[in-house]
């Protein structure tokens, strides 16, 4: 955690032309907290990390898979790129939000907008209020570059292959999920990916030994809902992996079985990639 410049995102596995129209997006695994943000927050690093999809990039991707992946490098609590670009709550800002801001967002009302107000356990992030100018700066420097690049990657696949398939990669806190699903897959209740695609992913995860839930309790965030449009050749599926499967949720330490869990997910992605080559 420093104020050294960090690129808003990184793209992996994109050397040359990929022979698959599959790609991975990882919006919540970033660990960079700018110095100014740290001066504004009332929370410690450990508390800030409670909203992080820890190790999501490692769980879903490795170089040998030869699948392109885009990962946001900035911490989710600084800016959440899996929200609408202007999904903000007036309570967080000193000045009045313009009329074009999404004032009706239920996620922003709960503190989980584009600029989050709270971490997962409801702890307030900021000592005071922010300015709209600061929000716009984060959106311009981090949010827009991430989505411009993701959109271009999808467009390139559609141009080259006539289609694109996006897996939006997440992890979820155990909470009340302990006796429920290991993995939740979402297609926005059928609008972001067709039935054949979502069931193909579900069956592969089931065969890998995971207990799978479909669209409950997570049907898909902004990435899935915004980009997924089967009618235009773009399928998008969100996958959430329960964190207690692979890490200690209090210490953020990887469990001894981490490589096994990651290996299963890599194998699922390898099969999907083969089907989509």
Give the dihedral sign, CA 145/85/167/63. positive
Domain 9-30+45-74+142-275 coded CATH 1.10.3430.10: no
Give residue-wise pLDDT tens across range 43-78. 999 999 999 999 999 999 999 999 999 999 999 999
Closest CA to 264 of 220, 208, 195, 206: 208
Closest CA to 50 of 224, 259, 247: 247
**Which pLDDT band, with edges at 50, 70 and 90, does 1 fall under?**
very low
Q: Where are the domains of the chain?
A: 9-30+45-74+142-275
Cα end-to-end span (Å), the chain:
39
Look at strands 164-172 and 22-26 and give their pairing: parallel
Segment 161-167 shows an average pLDDT of 97
Report the 10 Å Cβ neighbour count for 150. 23
Give residue-wise pLDDT tens across range 95-131. 999 999 998 899 999 999 999 999 987 899 999 999 9
pLDDT at 3: 62
CA 86 to chain centre: 17
Collapsed DSSP state (helix, strand, coil) of residue 176: helix
Q: Taking the CA of residue 212 as centre, how many other CA atoms within 13 Å lie in the half-sphere pointing to its CB? A: 19
Q: Taking the model in full, what pTM does it have?
A: 0.95
DSSP H or E run through 22: strand 22-26
**Which pLDDT band, with edges at 50, 70 and 90, does 276 fall under?**
confident
Asked if residues 141 and 101 have their Cβ atoms less than 8 Å apart, the reply is no
CA distance 53 to 173: 9
CA distance 201 to 183: 11
Residue 20 has pLDDT above 80, yes or no: yes
CA 65 to chain centre: 20
Q: Taking the CA of residue 61 as centre, how many other CA atoms within 13 Å lie in the half-sphere pointing to its CB? A: 24
């Amino acid at each position: 955690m420093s104020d050294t410049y960090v690129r808003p995102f990184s793209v992996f596995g994109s050397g040359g032309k990929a022979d698959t129209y599959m790609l991975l997006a990882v919006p919540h695994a970033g660990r960079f907290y700018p110095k100014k943000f740290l001066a504004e927050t009332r929370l410690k690093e450990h508390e800030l990390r409670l909203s992080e999809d820890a190790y999501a990039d490692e769980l879903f991707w490795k170089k040998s898979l030869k699948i392109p992946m885009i990962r946001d490098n900035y911490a989710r609590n600084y800016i959440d790129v899996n929200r609408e670009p202007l999904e903000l709550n007036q309570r967080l800002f000193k000045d009045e939000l313009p009329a074009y801001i999404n004032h009706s967002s239920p996620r922003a009302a709960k503190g989980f907008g584009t600029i989050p107000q709270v971490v997962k356990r409801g702890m307030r992030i900021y000592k005071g209020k922010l300015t709209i100018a600061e929000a716009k700066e984060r959106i311009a420097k981090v949010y827009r570059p991430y989505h411009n690049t993701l959109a271009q990657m999808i467009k390139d696949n559609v141009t080259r292959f006539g289609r694109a398939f996006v897996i939006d990669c997440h992890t979820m806190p155990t909470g009340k999920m302990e006796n429920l699903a290991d993995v939740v897959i979402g297609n926005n209740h059928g609008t972001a990916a067709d039935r054949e695609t979502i069931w193909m992913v579900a069956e592969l995860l089931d065969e890998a030994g995971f207990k799978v839930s479909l669209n409950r309790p997570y049907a898909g965030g902004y990435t899935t809902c915004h980009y997924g449009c089967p009618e235009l050749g773009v399928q998008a599926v969100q996958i959430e992996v329960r964190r207690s499967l692979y890490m200690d949720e209090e210490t953020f330490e990887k469990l001894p079985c981490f490589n096994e869990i990651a290996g299963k997910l890599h194998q699922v992605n390898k099969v999907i990639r083969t089907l989509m080559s």
